[in-house]
């Protein structure tokens, strides 16, 4: 854990500096130089980077991740080079990652490995030009992770493994967790198929499965009850054992136990295992499916507990970047979703009231009350149109048409905003440069700084005259960019891909609008067809 100590007045540039109290900012001290960052920026730019995980952790967890904490200035200290971190700070603020020309490539990539930022985020103008650099970076990444784990305690190692630090042990743990989740959900699905079910007891008692000492109790007369094959019980028990071990490990290494329990993903983990133990406790006290069927409400409780088992599939959100992106999209679009829900509820109540008073006196009306019209107006405004209930009068059909048009206006505009938010969130989590090209000609810009005291990386095989070239020689000129040679096409690739991304975004919007504005006319035709079918027209 990092040391926590107040700084003396001589070590502070401004001892009277006010402590930042707003939760939207965080102060970092990198090698003695202070950096103030927005927490939202650090979380949205690279959600799996070290700083993104750092700002989302509790204060106790931050002390494990940093090197020291200055209480007087509320700064988390990292013993890194400020000059190198300045480029990373600019990346978080602007989205472009550039390597200074006077910095060794390996030294810069060492800093990226420390902050867990992918080299794919580097802008095209700063792509590495040496052919052997990628192998050196792999060795550097593995060595850095190995050295960082050697200095951790047992609790810190377990925390690193369970939170996914990219090591082999972490990958194995993650793979096992995903595998058990998939097996558990698959067993739940297959257990509902009749071919994989068996009667509770063909002989009319419930003592065959449970070794009770009491005499067998007869099953009440009624339809025969089925349950999944006992094999699925063994699978369920095995998965629950793993989920319990995983949950207990996470609680053990959590810096704040109470905050850990009330986090969303941890609540999902608890709900995934809690129904099993509640149902097991009922079985221990002598209650099972057949006996609980005669107890009012108890059998329903057991069924609800079994339904909650499907929540386990949400555990995949811990390991899926796509689900996390979707969750971030919903969170960033919370205002739009709230506005859409409020306007939709207002429209449902308004049109339900109108159609009820117009249709209530008809002999074959299906709208016997305002709440009974909620379903029709809801599926009409969302342009679904099941056709299970239709208006009979002409005025009712006009009201339904108004509900369709209102639904298009209500849903179309907020959803396009949500689509933009999804594009923005997913785009911020993708490599900005789409990765460096594979066949890049070797650059003559490499110098002996590549070794920089690290003997594990071999020096480049260039002549001494090539080492003395000016760094600007590696940059393409304006005239060279206009040529169509394979080498110069490298500089055009990110621009073309950005154009394709923008075109794809416009195509998605165009397709959505065309589909959304076509559905109302199809719905109106369905309503007219149903009216003919019921003899109303």
pLDDT tens-digit profile of 283-301? 787 666 555 555 555 556 6
Where residue 19 falls among pLDDT bands split at 50, 70, 90? very low
Number of other CB atoms surrounding residue 97 within 10 Å: 25
Residue 290 and residue 337 in one domain:
no
Residue 382 and residue 404 in one domain:
yes
Structure tokens at 277: 């133990």
Q: Which residue would you say has higher pLDDT here, 495 or 370?
A: 370
What local confidence, expressed as pLDDT, does residue 448 receive?
38
What local confidence, expressed as pLDDT, does residue 431 receive?
42
Q: Of 403, 430, 457, at which residue does a domain stop? A: 430
Q: Does residue 463 form part of some domain?
A: no
Cβ–Cβ < 8 Å for 423, 483: no
Place of tokens 């609790």: 155
Per-residue pLDDT averaged across 278-287, rounded? Answer: 76
Quote the DSSP letter at residue 122.
Answer: B
- CA distances, 34 to each of 42, 75, 88, 452 (Å): 16, 8, 14, 27
Among the ranges 10-24, 92-106, 227-241, 410-424, which has the highest mean pLDDT value? 227-241
Backbone angles phi, psi at 59, to 5 degrees: -65, -40
pLDDT digits (tens, 9 = 90+) for 238-260: 998 999 998 998 888 887 788 88
Where residue 84 falls among pLDDT bands split at 50, 70, 90? confident
pLDDT digits (tens, 9 = 90+) for 134-172: 454 555 555 555 555 556 677 777 877 887 666 788 888
Per-residue pLDDT averaged across 407-419, rounded? Answer: 80
What local confidence, expressed as pLDDT, does residue 351 receive?
92
458 — alpha (psi -120 to 50), left (phi > 0) or beta? beta
Give the whole-number percent of the chain exceeding pLDDT 70. 59
Shortest CA distance to 303 belongs to which of 329, 332, 334, 282?
Answer: 282
Q: Which residues, other chains included, contact 250 with Cβ-Cβ below 8 Å and sequence gap of 6+?
A: 162, 260, 266, 269
pLDDT digits (tens, 9 = 90+) for 444-455: 344 333 333 333
pLDDT digits (tens, 9 = 90+) for 395-407: 988 998 999 888 8
Where residue 233 falls among pLDDT bands split at 50, 70, 90? confident
Number of domains in the chain: 3
Res. 7: pLDDT tops 70 = no
| Dist CA 305 CA 278 (whole Å) | 8
pLDDT digits (tens, 9 = 90+) for 341-393: 888 899 999 999 999 999 888 888 888 889 889 989 998 888 787 777 888 88
| Dist CA 71 CA 244 (whole Å) | 38
Q: Does residue 49 form part of some domain?
A: yes
- Domain residues for the domain of 303 are 168-319
Residue 110 and residue 222 in one domain:
no
Residue 173 and residue 315 in one domain:
yes
| Dist CA 523 CA 179 (whole Å) | 43
Residue 374 and residue 310 in one domain:
no
Q: Which residue would you say has higher pLDDT here, 418 or 70?
A: 70
Per-residue pLDDT averaged across 52-74, rounded? Answer: 84
| Dist CA 271 CA 266 (whole Å) | 9
Give the whole-number percent of the chain exceeding pLDDT 90. 4
Residue 188 and residue 309 in one domain:
yes
Residue 315 and residue 339 in one domain:
no
Residue 263 and residue 236 in one domain:
yes
Structure tokens at 388: 């299970």
Residue 243 and residue 343 in one domain:
no
- CA distances, 438 to each of 133, 489, 495 (Å): 12, 13, 18
Among the ranges 123-127, 267-271, 423-427, which has the highest mean pLDDT value? 267-271
Structure tokens at 488: 């110069």
What local confidence, expressed as pLDDT, does residue 444 receive?
39
Q: Is 532 exposed, middle or buried (0-12, 13-18, 19+ CB in 10 A)?
A: exposed
> Looking at residue 289, which CATH number applies to its domain?
1.20.120.350
| Dist CA 278 CA 282 (whole Å) | 6
Residue 193 and residue 256 in one domain:
yes
| Dist CA 48 CA 59 (whole Å) | 19
Res. 76: pLDDT tops 70 = yes
Between helix 298-307 and helix 264-284 the angle, nearest 10°, is 140
Helix (H) or strand (E) holding 28: strand 25-30
Backbone angles phi, psi at 56, to 5 degrees: -90, -5
SS3 content of the chain, % helix, strand, coil (to 5): 60, 5, 35
Shortest CA distance to 170 belongs to which of 160, 178, 180?
Answer: 160
Q: How confident is the prediction for the chain on average, in pLDDT? A: 69
- CA distances, 342 to each of 180, 337, 400 (Å): 40, 9, 20
Residue 34 and residue 67 in one domain:
yes
What local confidence, expressed as pLDDT, does residue 435 receive?
39
pLDDT digits (tens, 9 = 90+) for 432-484: 333 343 333 334 344 333 333 333 334 333 333 333 443 333 333 333 333 33
Cβ–Cβ < 8 Å for 31, 111: no
> Looking at residue 393, which CATH number applies to its domain?
1.10.287.70
């Amino acid at each position: 854990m990092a040391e926590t100590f107040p700084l003396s007045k001589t070590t502070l540039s401004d001892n009277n500096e006010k402590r930042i109290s707003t939760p939207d900012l965080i102060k970092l001290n990198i090698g003695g130089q202070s950096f103030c960052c927005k927490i939202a920026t650090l979380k949205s730019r690279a959600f799996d980077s070290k700083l993104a995980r750092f700002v989302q952790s509790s204060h106790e967890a931050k002390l494990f991740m940093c090197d020291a904490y200055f209480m007087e200035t509320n700064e988390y200290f990292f013993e890194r080079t400020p000059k190198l971190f300045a480029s990373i700070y600019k990346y978080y603020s602007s989205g472009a990652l550039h390597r200074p020309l006077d910095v060794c490539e390996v030294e810069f990539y060492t800093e990226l490995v420390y902050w867990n930022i992918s080299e794919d985020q580097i802008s095209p103008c700063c792509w590495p030009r040496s052919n052997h650099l990628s192998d050196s970076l792999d060795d550097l990444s593995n060595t850095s992770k190995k050295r960082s784990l050697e200095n951790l305690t047992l609790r810190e190692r377990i925390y690193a493994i369970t939170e996914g630090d990219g090591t082999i042990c972490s990958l194995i743990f993650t793979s096992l967790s995903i595998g058990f989740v998939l097996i558990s959900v698959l067993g739940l699905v297959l257990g509902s198929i009749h071919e994989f079910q068996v009667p509770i007891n063909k002989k009319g008692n419930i003592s065959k499965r449970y070794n009770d000492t009491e005499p067998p109790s007869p099953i009440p007369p009624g339809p025969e009850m089925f349950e999944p094959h006992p094999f699925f019980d063994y699978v369920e028990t095995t998965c629950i054992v793993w989920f319990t071990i995983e949950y207990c490990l996470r609680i053990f290494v959590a810096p704040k136990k109470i905050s850990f329990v009330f986090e969303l993903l941890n609540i999902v983990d608890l709900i995934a295992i809690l129904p099993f133990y509640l149902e097991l406790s009922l079985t221990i006290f002598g209650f099972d499916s057949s006996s609980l069927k005669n107890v009012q409400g108890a059998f329903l409780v057991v069924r609800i507990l079994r339904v909650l088992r499907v929540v386990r599939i949400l555990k995949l959100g811990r390991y899926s970047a796509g689900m996390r992106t979707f969750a971030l999209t919903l969170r960033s679009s919370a205002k739009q979703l709230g506005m859409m829900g409020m306007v939709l509820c207002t429209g449902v109540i308004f049109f339900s009231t109108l159609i009820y008073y117009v249709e209530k006196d008809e002999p074959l009306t299906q709208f016997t009350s305002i709440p009974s019209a909620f379903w029709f107006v809801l599926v009409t405004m969302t342009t679904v149109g099941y056709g299970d209930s239709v208006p009979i009068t002409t005025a009712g059909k006009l009201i339904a048409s108004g509900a369709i048009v209102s639904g298009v206006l209500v849903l179309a505009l907020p959803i396009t905003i949500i689509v933009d938010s999804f594009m923005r969130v997913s785009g911020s989590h993708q490599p900005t440069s789409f990765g460096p090209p594979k066949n890049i000609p070797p650059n003559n810009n490499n110098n002996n700084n590549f070794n920089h005291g690290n003997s594990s990386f071999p020096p480049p095989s260039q002549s001494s005259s090539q080492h003395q070239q000016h760094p600007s020689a590696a940059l393409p000129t304006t005239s060279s960019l206009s040529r169509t040679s394979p080498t110069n096409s490298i500089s055009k690739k990110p621009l073309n891909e950005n154009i394709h991304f923008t075109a794809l975004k416009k195509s998605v919007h165009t397709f959505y609008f065309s589909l959304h504005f076509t559905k109302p006319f199809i719905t109106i035709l369905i309503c007219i067809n149903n009216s003919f079918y019921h003899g109303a027209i």
